[in-house]
A and B are shown apart, each in its own frame.
Chain A
Amino acid sequence: MAASSPIAGDSTIPRAIHILVVLTVLTIVASACTQTATPASSSAPSAAASGGSTATKRTITVIANWGGGERAAFQKVIDAFTAKTGIPVNYEQSRQLEALVRTRVAGGNPPDIIFDSRPGAIAEFAKAGNLIPLDEPVGKEILDPKALEAALGKSFIDLGRVDKTLYGFMFKADSKSTIWYKPPSLTALGGTTPKTIDDLYALADKYKAAGKVPFGSGGKDGWVLTDWFENIYARVATPKQYNDLFVTHKVSWTDPTVKKALGVFAKIFGTPGYFPGGAQGIVGTAFTEGIGQAFSKSPVAEMYYEGGFVGVIIGTDINKDLKAGTDYDFFTFPTVDPAFGAPITGGGDFAVMFKDSPEGRAMMQFIATKEAADIYAATGSGTPSKLVDVAKITDPIAKKLHEQVASATVFLFDGSDLAPSALGGDFLFSALQDLVLHPNEVDRIAQALENFAKTAY
């Protein structure tokens, strides 16, 4: 065997080349065939469709980032749509939604509708001329203005606008203005849910006096801190200032309103005894660990601030023994300056149209209806629609979250998602952690944020 190998080697080299050449030729021929075959095969069905009956409806493609339970919830809406109109829907899921859509647009094959959670990206698509306006021309709008107003509050409608033209319909909304607490613990303390920030301080101090730690933290994940800051800023400034700070940077980070909000933030995070382990503990504890501090089977804290999704995490991951609404519940983030009230901050997904067709229009019109909103809300998903029949939502937390969002007069989109990622998704994280560790240095940190923001837009 070993002796014969040199001889075999001599003949196998040319043979290998020979095989390679044959394979290459085959590949070229095969690809040439598919290239010529593609137009032929794609033209055949369309000819058949135009020549045949019009009863067969075109399948529309919808892309969103929802997978798992979120996908199952949206599938119920799709099923209802297909049952009603006979239009088949091809749902595609992608976590790299915008990258996928950009390549499809560039390749001349845009999807019909996508659900995008980033207003900044929607504005980019709109300015590139990729999107179909939903409120033009007057009288022939895709979404009837009256139906739109019936479904959404002004604040939600406006979030879908790019320079006054409506491109996005907000279909899903999640609140981030929720402080989670344990009703039995609050009752045992003799406290009440706070309405103002001073009430919150008083409650925290009362817990402290009782030998307990009021809040779980989670500041190792910087976005938890930015969400705190956004809620505070929304309560000391106008919605316009809020957007100007994050979206356009017309309001500077050294503005008095920003410094005021940073001051409130520093007070909460700088008061000894408010969080387990103090400042070091805050920046050393991750988001889910923070939930565990307040809601695990051996808790060390009494309350936890983060968005509506915390309820789901408590019930499914942290402690299945706790009962929603009785063992854990939430109250709205309290007011700071009564003049600015308690606006809701949060995130959501907008339906955006890339291709105009009767089928696509039917889908857009359907998701704006009460029927669609009811089906979606019944799954426990957050919807901004005012039309929802609240009685159909069985989960008490989901019901309360829906009421909070749908009744919001002002809904401010997550500011750090609106800002450039280098600022909102990176530098702001470090700056707020810095403030947790150095609560007396508001001026220095505001200046550092401003210096960075100048280079980020």
Chain B
Amino acid sequence: MSRMRGHFGPWLFVAPAALLILVFIVYPTFWTMRLSLFGGLGFNFNKFVGLDNYVKLLTNDPQFLDLSKFPPGGAVVNNIFWLLVYTPAVIFVGLVVAVLADKVRYESLMKSVVFLPMAIAATAAAIIWLFVYSPDPRIGILNALLTTFVPGAEPISFTGSVDLVNPAIIVAAIWINAGFTTVVLSAALKGIPVEIIEAARVDGATGPQVFARIQIPMLAPTISVVAVTMIIYVIKVFDLIYVMGGNNGGPLGSARVVAFSQYVETFNNGRAGYGSAIAVIMLLVVLPFILLNVKRFRAEAGR
């Protein structure tokens, strides 16, 4: 009896969670993969097209990937731009705030202020930034400053410009998430033993040297965890673009990212198979990062 329980006991405990995961994650994932091989309108398996959806996405859909012009465009390229600009920037801001706040008396107040945007919904934050960027100087503070301090300057339509819309949304994303990176990095910073820093000081290290040679290397594991989290955020970012870029994903669709394309194709255009193909591509892209994170968690747990 007790041996029986030894066999079944763990399974019994895992069963409810496993069942939920099976029904709500594993099954839909495979269903999506199957759907991605079908064409036509709606969620049905009527028109088998094989890998046509993937071929079209990667070779003949300028909104998704456009290599015909320079610089290349499309949702994939925008996502890469996000990765290259947003990820380092949000970590840099978080690091700077964490290190500087470490030195001052009103540290918790300062960190609270930076963390505040995390407490509001992304859609609300996006609307706030739409006001900031408004081309009407009576509404948008940026254009108000511009037209006041630069004589004869024309207001800039930040979200209406193909070139400015991506950086503009990225700034909003940094504003939202810098609080997260600050708090995590600040906690890690506190974990660095004071003795090490004091020893470095005694050996004559300057402030910047302590930062670059001691604090940064000791923060490296934390920074990489934060980076992976932010990379996953970038790959699935949607809400900011939907609100700030409008239902078209920015002027000419120039602010679209992969997750946005998936939404538009599936629900707006009714091409569920095509949208599923995008979802599968997204899954393949995000998978290595998730594995990396899982591996790291295991390593942490093993330590």
Contacts and interface: CB of A to CB of B under 8 A. Distances in A.
Interface of A: 13, 220-222, 276-278, 280-286, 298, 300, 420-422, 425-427, 429-430, 433-434, 437, 448, 455
B157 A430 contact: no
Given A283-B251, A300-B136, A422-B271, A430 B159 contact: no
B229 interface: no
A365 B247 CA distance: 40
Given A280-B161, A426-B264, A433 B269 contact: no
A221 B246 CA distance: 7
Given A280-B161, A285-B135, A421-B270, A430 B156 contact: no
B252 A425 contact: no
A243 B225 CA distance: 56
Contact of A280 (B160, B253, B265): B160
Binding site secondary structure of chain A: helix
B251 A437 contact: yes
Given A281-B157, A421-B269, A422-B271, A430 B253 contact: yes
Given A280-B157, A421-B268, A429-B253, 13 more contacts: A220-B246, A220-B248, A221-B247, A276-B136, A280-B161, A284-B157, A284-B160, A284-B161, A300-B136, A421-B270, A422-B270, A426-B248, A437-B251
Contacts of B60: 455
Contacts of A300: 136
B268 A430 contact: no
B251 A426 contact: no
Contacts of B160: 220, 277, 280-285
B180 interface: no
Nearest to B156: A280
Contacts of B159: 220, 284
A207 to B, nearest CB: 19
Interface of B: 12, 56, 60, 62-63, 135-136, 138, 154-162, 246-248, 251-253, 264-265, 268-271
Contacts of A437: 162, 251-252
Contacts, number: 79
Contact of A425 (B161, B246, B269): B269
A430 B264 CA distance: 13
Contacts of A430: 63, 248, 252-253
Nearest to B56: A455
Contacts of A221: 246-248
29 contacts: A220-B251, A221-B246, A277-B155, A277-B160, A278-B154, A280-B135, A280-B157, A281-B135, A281-B155, A281-B157, A282-B160, A283-B160, A283-B252, A284-B135, A284-B157, A284-B158, A284-B160, A285-B135, A285-B157, A298-B138, A300-B136, A420-B269, A422-B265, A422-B271, A426-B269, A433-B248, A433-B252, A437-B162, A448-B62
A425 B162 CA distance: 20
A433 B251 contact: yes
Given A220-B246, A221-B246, A277-B155, A284 B251 contact: yes
Contacts of B252: 283, 430, 433-434, 437
A222 B250 CA distance: 10
Contacts of B246: 220-222, 286
A265 to B, nearest CB: 15
Most A CB contacts (10 A, CB to CB) among B12, B156, B253, B264 go to B253
B50 to A, nearest CB: 16
Contacts of B264: 426
Closest 6 pairs between A and B when the two form their complex, measured CB to CB: A284-B160, A284-B157, A280-B157, A283-B251, A422-B269, A283-B160
A261 to B, nearest CB: 20
Given A222-B248, A437-B162, A437-B252, A283 B138 contact: no
A281 B160 CA distance: 6
Contacts of A425: 268-269
Most buried by B among A220, A276, A280, A285: A280
Contacts of B63: 426-427, 430
A8 to B, nearest CB: 16
A422 B56 CA distance: 14
A280 B247 CA distance: 17
A269 B268 CA distance: 26
Nearest to A10: B5
A429 B256 CA distance: 14
Contacts of A283: 157, 160, 251-252
Scoring B12, B63, B247 by chain A CB atoms within 10 A of each residue's CB, the highest score goes to: B247
A87 to B, nearest CB: 34
A66 B253 CA distance: 31
A426 B261 CA distance: 11
Nearest to A16: B12
A13 to B, nearest CB: 7
Contacts of B156: 280
Nearest to B246: A220
Contacts of B269: 420-422, 425-426
A448 B252 CA distance: 13
B4 to A, nearest CB: 12
A220 B156 CA distance: 15
A266 B157 CA distance: 20
